Every structure is written in C-alpha cells, then in structure tokens.
Amino acid sequence: MGVDLELDERTRRYCIRSQESSLNTVEALATYSAARMLVHTGSGGNHYRDAMRKLARLVPEPAKTALMRQVDVLEQGDDDRSLELVAQAWFGGRVLRCDYLSANRDTPIRRDLEIHFFEVNRRNHEAYVIAFDRTSRKDVAVFKLMRMSNVKVLEETYEPPTDFDPAIFFGPSYGVLRGTEVWVEVRVYAKAARAFRERLEDGIVIEHVSDDGSLLARIRGTLDDAGRALELMPLLLTWGDQLEVLEPPSVRESIATTLRNAAAKYAAHDVDPGRSTPPIGARPPTSGDEVITVLRVSWSMNADARAYIAQLPTASLDEALAVALTFDADVPDRQSLVDAFTEAGARHTRPSSN
C-alpha cells in the first residue's frame, strides 16, 4: 500500500509512521500546550493517554518526545471512570446520575444531571461540570468530578443548550465559584511587587505604583452565600506578609484571622529566641490573645518587647494579663510578662502631675 509502519516500543504494536506535521510553529506550540494541560489535570485514563499520543504526533521534535514521555508516567485515577461517563453523557445528550458529596455535607445525595459544559479549572486544574440538577436544586450549578461516586449514564435524554456561554455563567469568578462580585483592594510591598506584576491576569488591576516600589492593586472575585472569598483566600495568603488586604473589611478580617491563628501555632511550637517583636507603630492588637501571640514569637522581654507593651491600650493590657496568668509557672518569661503588663497598666491609671 506504500505506507510506512513503525513499531510502538511501549505497546509492541506496529502503527502507521507519522507524517511531518502540517502545523506551523505557533500552531504546533498551541497543540503542545493543550496536551500539557491534559498532563496537569493528572488524569491518566486510557482515553486521555490515547488523546495525548494523537496530539503528540501532530507536533515536531523535541516536543513530540517530551509529550510521549509524559504519557508513559500517567496513572489511572479513581475518577477516570467518572470522566469517561461524563463524556458519554455530555456528547450523547443523556442524563448523568451520581451520588454527589457537596463540600458542606457529610453524606452524598443522588443527583440526576443534564450536563451543559465541561470545565478544567484554570486555578487548580481539576475537572468540573456545569449541569442542570433535575433532583434537588432544579437549577444550573457547578459539580466537581472527584466528588462524584456511583456514576452511571441513564437512557433518558435531554437537549444540551447550544448557546451556553461559560464567560457569562462564571462572570467575575476567580475560578468556578459563582457569587456576589467583589473587588479586593491590596497593597503589595516592594519585595514582592515585581513577582506580583509578572503574574498579572484577568481580574487583577494595578492601581498605583509608589516611589518605594510598593503598589496598590485590585483583584476581582466572588463571595459565596456566607460572604466568604473562598477562591481568593489562597491567592491572598500566597504572598505572606508582603501583601496586605485593605478592603473590604470582611476579607481583610478573614485574612488577618487566618494569619493570627497560623502565627499562634508556630509561636506555640517553634519558638526562636533570636527573633524580635514587631516594631512600635504596627496596627494595635484587637485582643489579649493577639498580644500574647506577638510576644511569644520571641519570648524574650527585651527593650523592644517592653516598648511594645507600653504602647498597648488599657483593654488589651487587661486581656493580655488575664491570658498570661493562665500560663503554667514554668513557661519562659511568664512572670516577666505578668510584671510588664501590670506595670504598664498601672501607668495608664496613674494620675498625671501638672
């Protein structure tokens, strides 16, 4: 027949030798990028591996070999069968039935879904479907594949919408969480400003760059029904102390609470006597527990620590003293803390002389 065959070393089967790619260099790179995205999903089902092999044959070397090497390391996952059934249901216009474990439930419930769209989340590369829930919601919602179990395709059919637009459906979402639009205003300090600007993407707007290198930016996302910015939290926390949330107050407080709780855990179990306390002029603490957390970073009653205590408001001093008095006697600097809080409190109540 005049067709060249080649031996596939992995399967030990002969196949038709691939011809030179008809794609130009940019098209080949786009195809390679799509295949790499399949790798990042972590799905290793047979159909995914076959799709990657087909894509790999379309691109020139060295991209072809690089993709083929990735195909060989993919492993079958627990949700790969679900992926196959989702594909059958969506492309065949058939209802998908599954037991679905929502994030806020302890037990799964049965769902009959009419799939409108399949989405790989650009943030975590996990697979989701947007579907009309026939059973309970009676509405279109987002469902994560890895939360599905006992999946099967029913004989019942439906007409998939041809005008579904994911951009309209997800709207201002930073990932796949629909909700109330919110713009979070942040200050990024100079040390991280360059890296922050390098990862600019949809939904992040630079408002102002200061002379000291820091910048003000706004990040668009959504709040869930409880007013939480669940998808934005990981992004905001990624930058540690180099990013400060300014507005809205609810998101600022969520970040502050998370960082305070984390600091308390580290302070309790990983004390470093060489560290100093925060400088005077930092935002006043909101509770006695927070005062203790700040000071336990060092557990050293040096001049900085005493200066920090001296500028605390009376309410924080009283609360902090109450917390310190609950410590066991063998806690380092317990008595020094008690004495410092007591002395500072006395100065607050001591009448001034004219």
pLDDT of residue 80: 76
| Span 223-228, average pLDDT | 85
Q: In what order do the strands lie in the sheet with 148-157?
A: 140-144, 127-133, 109-120, 94-100, 148-157
Q: What is the DSSP code (8-state) at residue 42?
A: T
Among candidate residues 88, 98, 48, the one with its CA nearest the CA of residue 71: 48
| Dihedral sign for Cα atoms in the order 173, 174, 177, 181 | negative
pLDDT attached to residue 125: 77
Condensed to tens digits (0 to 9), the pLDDT of residues 297-344 reads: 444 455 556 666 666 676 666 666 666 666 555 555 567 767 776 777
User: Do 80-161 and 180-265 share a fold?
Assistant: no
Average pLDDT over residues 234-256: 90
Task: Evaluate the CA torsion angle 335, 336, 339, 341 in order and state its sign.
Answer: negative
Question: For residue 223, what are the contacts with CB-CB under 8 A and spacing of at least 6?
Answer: 179, 180, 182, 229, 250
Measure the CA dihedral 152/153/159/160, to 10°.
Answer: 50
Q: How far apart are the first and last CA of the chain?
A: 111
Cα atoms in the 13 Å half-sphere on the side-chain side of 125? 9
Residue 240's CB: how many other CB atoms inside 10 A? 10
The Cα–Cα gap between 102 and 59 comes to 40
> Is the Cβ–Cβ distance between 302 and 271 less than 8 Å?
no
What mean pLDDT, rounded, does the chain reach?
Answer: 77
Per-residue confidence at 214, pLDDT binned at 50, 70, 90? Answer: very high
Q: What is the reported pLDDT for 276?
A: 46
pTM of this structure: 0.62
Q: In the structure, what pLDDT confidence band is assigned to residue 277 with cuts at 50, 70 and 90?
A: very low
Model confidence at 244, pLDDT cuts 50, 70, 90, reads very high
Choose the CATH number for 80-161 among 1.20.58, 2.30.30, 3.30.70, 3.40.50: 2.30.30
Q: Which residue has the higher pLDDT, 6 or 164?
A: 164
CA 245 to each of CA 238, 252, 271: distance values in angstroms, whole numbers, following the listed order? 12, 5, 27
CB atoms within 10 A of CB 295: 25
Q: Which of 103-107, 261-265, 328-332 has the lowest mean pLDDT?
A: 328-332
- Give 320-326's long-range contacts (Cβ < 8 A, gap of 24+): 320/288, 320/291, 320/292, 321/288, 321/345, 322/288, 323/288, 323/289, 323/291, 323/292, 324/292
Task: Report the C-alpha gap between 352 and 354 in whole angstroms.
Answer: 7
Q: Cα–Cα distance between 301 and 58 in angstroms, integer?
A: 67
Instruction: Report the top-level CATH class of 180-265.
Output: alpha beta
Report how far Cα 51 is from the mean position of its chain's Cα atoms. Answer: 28
Spell out the domain ranges in the chain: 5-73, 80-161, 180-265, 271-349
- State whether the Cα torsion 127-233-177-246 is positive or negative: negative
Tokens of 149: 């179990």
Question: In the structure encoding, which two tokens stand for residue 347, read together?
Answer: 């100065």
